Copies of this chain bind each other. A is one copy, B any other.
Amino acid sequence: MAQLSMEEARALAERALRKAGAREAMAASTAQALVRAEAQGLASHGLTRVPQYATHLRNGRADGLAVAVVARQKGAALLIDAKHGLAFPACDLAIGNAIATARTLGVCFVGITNSHHCGVLVDHLRAVTDAGMIGLGFANSPSAMPAAGGKHPIFGTNPVAAAFPRRNNAPLMIDLSLSEVARGKVMVAAKEGKPIPLGWALDRDGNPTTDAKAALEGSMLPLGAVSSPKGSMLALMVELLVTAVIGAQFGFEASSFFVDEGNVPRLGQAFLVIDPGALAGSDAYYDRIEILIAEMLSDEGVRLAGARRTGLERRADESGLTIPDALKNQLDMLAA
């Protein structure tokens, strides 16, 4: 394993993205987000994405020279065009404008069209909680899950995120994809030759399967799919919010991020920013969230959303990151 300080990791990722064709601000924003994910223990959204994004920058699936713009604003509704660039600078622009709008209009809904993979969705909401506001996030992704009753993937795992500021503590951070489990869990089972529970996945013919290898060729199932269509209904809701409503492409129209060749994904993200000062009032909000959290923690065994990630990130800030040698070598080559 290789050791890097946070700053070394950031600089290395930034250089690799620059070499692949990302303009300075895009490389900087993207590198910072990926290092932050790595620091939180979210390796699947961390530095392993640098080679993937670099490939997309090189083969035209993402435009390294794109400059995201405010395409439209009507009151508290805002549309950002990522112009087929990496998603991070477009998300920065969206969130910055949404906070400013919510400050005057109490709330802002911002959509980002022509976008790419947005990494850890909830991390985009950090600036929102820093501003004392509440944020929700939605995103689609290349198709991986069937509609209710269906046999073939149509929706992405379509994450939902929420962030709630606290007065004297790290914000409450919620971030989840709408599949029953992450694909990574199926990959681990396949590697170990172990079966998976019913309700995790379908095989390529759309039949429920306990065979991890068959599952990898099929679809992931939505949250709670063994009992009801609720998870797929939520995935449909997210899909429409970030596509038809704002102009981005459906998950079934986008090629997987994990193949090198493929189309420009043109996916969508959307954020809702709410100023509690315009509703309950900020003092009331901060008082009340602590009452709920105290009640939650009075039940032994309850852990707060995002607490584990926050702890890992604090440790990484002090002691740096540890990544596989192979990944370190790959990054060094890309940055050279």
Q: Which positions in A face B, CB cutoff 8 Å?
A: 72, 74-77, 79, 104-109, 111, 113, 134, 136, 146-152, 154, 160, 162, 164, 172, 174, 176, 178, 180-181, 197, 199-200, 223-224, 226-231, 233-234, 236-237, 239-241, 243-247, 250, 252, 272, 274-276, 278-281, 284-285, 288-289, 291-292, 295-296, 299-303, 305
Question: Given contacts A148-B303, A243-B292, are A230 and B278 in contact (CB under 8 A)?
Answer: no
- What are 30 inter-chain pairs, A to B, with CB distance below 8 A? A74-B105, A75-B75, A75-B106, A75-B107, A77-B274, A107-B107, A111-B279, A111-B280, A136-B237, A146-B299, A147-B299, A148-B303, A149-B299, A149-B303, A151-B300, A154-B299, A164-B240, A172-B236, A176-B228, A176-B233, A176-B234, A178-B230, A181-B227, A223-B224, A223-B228, A224-B224, A243-B288, A244-B276, A246-B280, A250-B295
The CA of A237 and the CA of B146, in the complex, are separated in Å by 25
Number of copies: 2
Contact A72 B247 (CB under 8 A): no
Contact B278 A72 (CB under 8 A): yes
The CA of A150 and the CA of B297, in the complex, are separated in Å by 9
User: Quick one: closest B residue to A306, CB to CB?
Assistant: B233
Question: Given contacts A77-B274, A240-B292, A241-B134, are A247 and B280 in contact (CB under 8 A)?
Answer: yes
User: Quick one: closest B residue to A238, CB to CB?
Assistant: B162
Q: Which residues of B contact A234 (CB under 8 A)?
A: 160, 174, 176, 234
User: Quick one: closest B residue to A285, CB to CB?
Assistant: B244
Contact A76 B75 (CB under 8 A): yes
